[in-house]
């Protein structure tokens, strides 16, 4: 089983790609090299291949990286399933994970939702997607500073608030306030629940 993230950046045409492309590439490079692990194509569309257990964290991290740039957001679909063909790049490969991810991205656009998951288990999908819709209620409204603090916290999961404060040149109390406003605790609980349940899903 693998996970495929398919995403497209919202309102990217209003901002030159030089404003967001370097941050996006830095984020994607954590999971491997292009084109076998990730690709950016058609200017603002993304595919990323990774283990299912890492998929939701990657999706939230990419969202935080994009939302830390004023005026931008991103739609992300997660497809979990098999890989039956490996092409020269992730965008040329195929399998149920790819098919689910592609179909789910179309559903996102139609339903005006920004984060959704599709696995072989419909009951699991229903439960997780309800949780993702509820989480999107605050993630879609992250300010640039809220998104930045979430992004840093996900990249450096053991970092202290003092280290975050030093890195951002702000007071530790401001870090605490930003994490609270960004709903960091709820984000962690969502990720923990997902990590503990996704590997029980079978094709």
Task: State the pTM of this model.
Answer: 0.94
| Residues 41 and 47 sit within 8 Å (Cβ to Cβ) | yes
pLDDT in tens, 93-128: 999 999 999 999 999 988 889 999 999 999 999 999
> Thinking of the domain 2-200, which architecture would CATH place it in?
2-Layer Sandwich (3.30)
Q: How many helices (H) and strands (E) does the chain have?
A: 8, 5
pLDDT at 73: 94
| Residues 81 and 100 sit within 8 Å (Cβ to Cβ) | yes
Binned at pLDDT 50, 70 and 90, residue 196 comes out as very high
pLDDT at 28: 95
| Residues 28 and 18 sit within 8 Å (Cβ to Cβ) | no
| Residues 90 and 35 sit within 8 Å (Cβ to Cβ) | yes
Put the strands of the sheet holding 2-10 in their side by side order. 38-41, 45-50, 2-10, 73-81, 115-118
Sequence spans of domains, the chain = 2-200
């Amino acid at each position: 089983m693998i996970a495929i993230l398919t995403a497209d950046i919202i309102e990217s045409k209003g901002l030159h790609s030089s404003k967001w492309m370097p941050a996006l590439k830095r984020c994607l490079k954590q999971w491997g090299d292009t084109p076998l692990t990730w690709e950016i194509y058609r200017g603002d569309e993304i595919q990323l291949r990774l283990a299912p257990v890492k998929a939701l964290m990657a999706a939230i991290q990419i969202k935080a990286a994009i939302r830390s740039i004023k005026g931008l957001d991103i739609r992300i679909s997660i497809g979990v399933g098999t890989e039956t063909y490996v092409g020269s790049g992730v965008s040329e490969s195929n399998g149920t994970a790819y098919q689910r991810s592609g179909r789910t991205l179309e559903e996102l656009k139609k339903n005006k939702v920004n984060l959704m998951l599709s696995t072989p288990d419909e009951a699991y999908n229903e439960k997780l997607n309800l949780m993702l819709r509820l989480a999107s209620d605050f993630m879609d409204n992250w300010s640039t500073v809220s998104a930045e603090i979430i992004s840093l916290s996900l990249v450096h999961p053991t970092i202290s608030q003092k280290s975050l404060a030093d890195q951002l040149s702000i007071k530790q109390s401001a870090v605490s306030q930003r994490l609270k406003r960004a709903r960091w605790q709820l984000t962690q609980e969502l990720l923990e629940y997902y990590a503990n349940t996704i590997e029980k899903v079978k094709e």
